[in-house]
Amino acid sequence: MRRSGRAFASDVVWSRLAWMAASGALALACKSDAAEARAFAEQRGVGSAVAHLPLRAAPPADVAPSVVRLSAEVGDAIDETVRGAIAVGELPGAVVVIGRRDGVAFRRAYGALAEAPARTAARPDAIYDLASLTKPIVTATALGLLADAGRLGFDDPASRHLSELRGTQHAETTLRQLLAHSAGLPAILPLAEFEHGADRAVSAIARAYRRSLPGER
C-alpha cells in the first residue's frame, strides 16, 4: 500500500508519542530535574512540543519503580496531542500506555477502536496491529535509546550498521533520512521479497532503485 500524506502525518503523531514515552517516562526518569530533562529531549531532536513538557523530578534510586508516575502536565500534553490528531482526522483512536519496569505510569484510551461496520470505542486493553507504525513506535525509539547510549548517531550512514548497503547507491543514506522517510527509497517492494526473512528483505532494499536523492523529499 502506497504511503499517503495522512499516513505520514499519523507516523509523525506516533513518533511524538513514542518520544514522550521513551524520553518523558523512561529515559528521563534518571534525570535529576526538569531542566535537565528538557535539555535531554532537545538534544534528541524531539521538538518544542515535547522538549518543553514539565516533567516531575526523578525519584530517589531506592524508590520502587511502580511508584514512578507522570506529572499531570505531561498527561495533559499527551491528551492534547492525541485528541488533536483525532479531531483533524489523522487517526480514529488510540490507546497510550507508558510503563517503567514493573509500573504503569499512564494508560488511557481515546476515540474509536473501529469505525466500520459500526463505531466501537477504544478500550485500554485493546490490541492493535501496528504494521507500519512499528517504524516510529519501535524502531525510532530503539534508535534513540542506542544514540543516547553512544552506540550510534542519527547522522551515521546506514551502511555503517547494515553491511548489505555498502557499495550501493544507498551507502551514504543516513539513519536520520531513513527515519524521516526522506531516503529516496520506493514506497513498496514486491511482497515476495519479504517472505524469506530479514536478511533477504534488506538485500532487496539495497538493490532497489533510488527514486530521489536522500534528503531531497
Peptide bond into 117 cis (omega under 30): yes
Whether 113 and 122 have beta carbons less than 8 Å apart is answered as: yes
Residue with cell 500506555: 97
Q: Which residues pair with 42 in a beta bridge?
A: none
Q: Is 66 one of the annotated active-site residues of the chain?
A: no
User: How far apart are the C-alpha atoms of 46 and 26, rounded to whole Å?
Assistant: 15
Q: Which of 4, 48, 132, 212 is catalytic?
A: 132
Residue 177 cell numbers, joined:
533520512
User: How far apart are the C-alpha atoms of 104 and 163, rounded to whole Å?
Assistant: 38
Question: In b/e form, how buried is each residue of 149-171, taking b as 16+ CB within 10 angstroms?
Answer: eeeeebeebbbeebebbeebebe
Residue 94 cell numbers, joined:
488510540
Q: Which residues participate in catalysis according to the annotation?
A: 132
